[in-house]
Amino acid sequence: MAKRNNVWANIDWVTVLLFLLLIFLGWINIYAAIYNPENQSIFDVSERYGKQLIWIGAALALGFLILLIETNFYVFFSYIIYGFFILLLILVLFMGKEINGARSWFDIGGVRLQPSEFGKFATALALAKYMSSFGFKLQRFKSIVVIALLILAPAFFILLQNDTGSALVYFSFVLVLFREGLSGVILFFGSLIALLFVLALVLSNLILNAVLIGAVLSIFLIMNTRLKQFGIILIIFSLSIGIFFGLNEIVSTEYQPADFLFSGGLLGALITLIYSIRKQISNYIIVTVIFIGALLFSVSVDYGFTNLLEPHQQVRINELLGIESNPQGAGYHVNQSKIAIGSGGFWGKGFLNGTQTKFDFVPEQSTDFIFCTVGEEWGFVGTFVLIILFLTLFIRLVLLAERQRSGFSRIYGYSVAVILFFHFMVNIGMTIGIMPVIGIPLPFFSYGGSSLWSFTILLFIFIRLDASRLDHLSN
Query: Can you give the binding site for other proteins, defined by CB under 8 A?
Result: 175, 178-181, 325, 327-328, 331-332, 335-336, 338-339, 341-346, 349, 356-363, 375, 379-380, 383-384, 387-388, 390-391, 394-395, 398-399, 401-402, 405, 407, 410, 414, 417-418, 421, 425, 428-429, 432, 434
Q: What does the radius of gyration of the chain's CA atoms come to, in whole angstroms?
A: 26
**Cβ proximity to other proteins, 165 vs 268, nearer residue:** 165
Residue 107 phi, psi dihedral angles, 5° rounding: -110, 105
Least Å distance between CB 388 and other proteins?
8
**Cβ proximity to other proteins, 197 vs 380, nearer residue:** 380
**Cβ proximity to other proteins, 142 vs 312, nearer residue:** 312
Cβ atoms 444, 209 nearer than 8 A: no
Closest among 129, 130, 159, 123 to 144, alpha carbons compared:
130
Label residue 436 exposed, middle or buried (CB < 10 Å: 0-12, 13-18, 19+): buried
- The CA distance from 314 to 327, in Å, is 17
Residue 103 phi, psi dihedral angles, 5° rounding: -95, 75
Least Å distance between CB 187 and other proteins?
9
Spell out a b/e string for 80-96, using b for 16 or more CB atoms within 10 Å of the CB, else e.
ebbeebbebbeebeeeb
- The CA distance from 210 to 20, in Å, is 48
**Cβ proximity to other proteins, 43 vs 384, nearer residue:** 384
Least Å distance between CB 403 and other proteins?
10
Least Å distance between CB 200 and other proteins?
22
- The CA distance from 84 to 430, in Å, is 32
**Cβ proximity to other proteins, 121 vs 414, nearer residue:** 414
**Cβ proximity to other proteins, 246 vs 345, nearer residue:** 345
Strands in 289-424 per DSSP E: none
**Cβ proximity to other proteins, 113 vs 418, nearer residue:** 418
CA 347 to chain centroid, in Å, comes to: 29
Closest among 22, 91, 150, 2 to 444, alpha carbons compared:
22
**Cβ proximity to other proteins, 114 vs 404, nearer residue:** 404
**Cβ proximity to other proteins, 44 vs 302, nearer residue:** 44
Least Å distance between CB 350 and other proteins?
11
Closest among 82, 120, 122, 88 to 105, alpha carbons compared:
88
- The CA distance from 30 to 370, in Å, is 7
Least Å distance between CB 292 and other proteins?
28
Least Å distance between CB 193 and other proteins?
18
Closest among 62, 157, 145, 149 to 119, alpha carbons compared:
157
Least Å distance between CB 242 and other proteins?
36
- The CA distance from 72 to 78, in Å, is 10
Least Å distance between CB 67 and other proteins?
25
Least Å distance between CB 162 and other proteins?
17
- The CA distance from 189 to 381, in Å, is 37
**Cβ proximity to other proteins, 255 vs 384, nearer residue:** 384
Closest among 432, 422, 168, 170 to 320, alpha carbons compared:
168
